[in-house]
Amino acid sequence: MRDPLPSYPGYSLRRAANATAADLSARLGAIGMKQVDASILLLLADNPEVTASALGRQLDIQRANMVPLLKRLEDAGLIARTPIDGKSQGLALTEEGRETMTKARVIIDRFESELLARVPAEHRDHLLPALDALWR
Amino acid sequence: MRDPLPSYPGYSLRRAANATAADLSARLGAIGMKQVDASILLLLADNPEVTASALGRQLDIQRANMVPLLKRLEDAGLIARTPIDGKSQGLALTEEGRETMTKARVIIDRFESELLARVPAEHRDHLLPALDALWR
DNA sequence: TATGGATTGCTATGATCAACAACAATCGCT
DNA sequence: AGCGATTGTTGTTGATCATAGCAATCCATA
């Protein structure tokens, strides 16, 4: 079947993103994590006491949609909230959260290196800069 | 805020795909099209009389989910079905479907060239081959 | 030619996800 | 003191996708 779509970079971009995301999802699923969960944990590891709003801004997730996300992580005992002032609350990893984050990071690091390994050597170093130009 | 995520190619891949997809969606919305719709029309333009199943396989869309998709396009008068045998039916663009497909292709071509233009020249030619390696 | 496995189109359903509007409480600047 | 902006939240909606199941039809082979 003749298919003109793969010659479009934008189309290949979407297909590649879907394929790799499915792969990573499966791997993170092994430790009961989703990609968003892992993103939040990684961000929290580097930025203790950030606010839910700030997290959402960084990840492009609306405030309202952060609520169930954070609730799940809190119920799982991975993050804790501490009041900053009357309306803001700081988020931080619990001890268990830190352990889970470490596991997630191992999985992600392996995933990312395998991803890069699939790219032919002559194109490899160009991938990240090219992608950055498309959304940063 | 310190953010280790953008240094991961896989993460940037997802973000870039989301950003560009949102852009294209907005542009196609101007003619009442969605990305899937346009994909189907483009594919149909090059492959008249293909079957719904074959289309779904090519686009990685399950048979069951093709039904409402094709129904919308048929109700809009963009595609027509002709029986091939007792159980299969060939899909093809109507005259109106061909016109809409042409409009969509103009939009997509412009979108894709603007997308490539955003990539620094030294990385540009590496993007498509790199992406291809990730899903083909 | 009969038959069993695969294929096609479809219905129905559930899960997940993101967008949106609205709200009360609080903050911070003037 | 007052006012606009921010925060966390609720509730709802629409879109997308996976899954299971089903009847009809096909195709290859015994």
A5-16 burial: b if 16+ Cβ within 10 Å, else e: beebbbbbbbbb
Residue of A2, A3, A7, A11 to mutate when probing chain B, most B C-beta within 10 A: A11
- Residues 15-74 on B with a CB inside 8 Å of A are 15-21, 24, 35, 39, 42-43, 46-47, 50, 54, 58, 60
**How far is CA B114 from its chain centroid?**
17
What are the tens digits of pLDDT across the range B61-73?
A: 999 999 999 999 9
Determine, for residues B46 and A9 on separate chains, whether the beta-carbon distance falls below 8 Å: no
Read off the pLDDT band of A1 (50, 70, 90). Answer: very high
| Mean pLDDT across A99-109 | 98
Reported as type and span, the H/E element at residue B83 is strand B79-83
User: Is the dihedral angle over the CA atoms A130, A46, A111, B18 positive or is it negative?
Assistant: negative
Q: What is the pLDDT of residue A98?
A: 98
What are the tens digits of pLDDT across the range A71-80?
A: 999 999 999 9
Q: What is the pLDDT of residue A49?
A: 96
Partners of residue B119 in chain A, C-beta under 8 Å: 130, 133-134
Q: What is the pLDDT of residue A7?
A: 97
- Nearest-CA distance A50 → chain B (Å): 9
Determine, for residues A47 and B6 on separate chains, whether the beta-carbon distance falls below 8 Å: no
- Contacts with A96 (C-beta within 8 Å, 6 or more apart), sequence order: A77, A78
The CA-atom distances, in angstroms, between A18 and each of A14, B7, B60, B69 are: 6, 19, 11, 20
Phi/psi of residue A120, nearest 5 degrees? -50, 140
Q: Tell me which CATH code domain A5-116 carries.
A: 1.10.10.10
| Mean pLDDT across B82-91 | 94
Reported as type and span, the H/E element at residue B90 is strand B89-93
- Nearest-CA distance A42 → chain B (Å): 8
CA of A83 to C1' of D2 (A): 26
Q: What is the pLDDT of residue B16?
A: 97
Cross-strand partners of B120: none
What are the tens digits of pLDDT across the range A2-53?
A: 999 999 999 999 999 999 999 999 999 999 999 999 999 999 999 999 999 9
Spatial distance between the Cα atoms of B29 and B136, rounded to a whole number of angstroms = 28
| Mean pLDDT across B73-84 | 96
Read off the pLDDT band of A124 (50, 70, 90). Answer: very high
- Nearest-CA distance B127 → chain A (Å): 6
B5-119 CATH fold: Arc Repressor Mutant, subunit A (1.10.10)
Where do the DSSP E strands lie in chain A? 50-51, 79-83, 89-93
Determine, for residues A119 and B130 on separate chains, whether the beta-carbon distance falls below 8 Å: yes
- Is residue A39 within 8 Å of B1, Cβ to Cβ? no
Percent of chain B with pLDDT over 90: 99
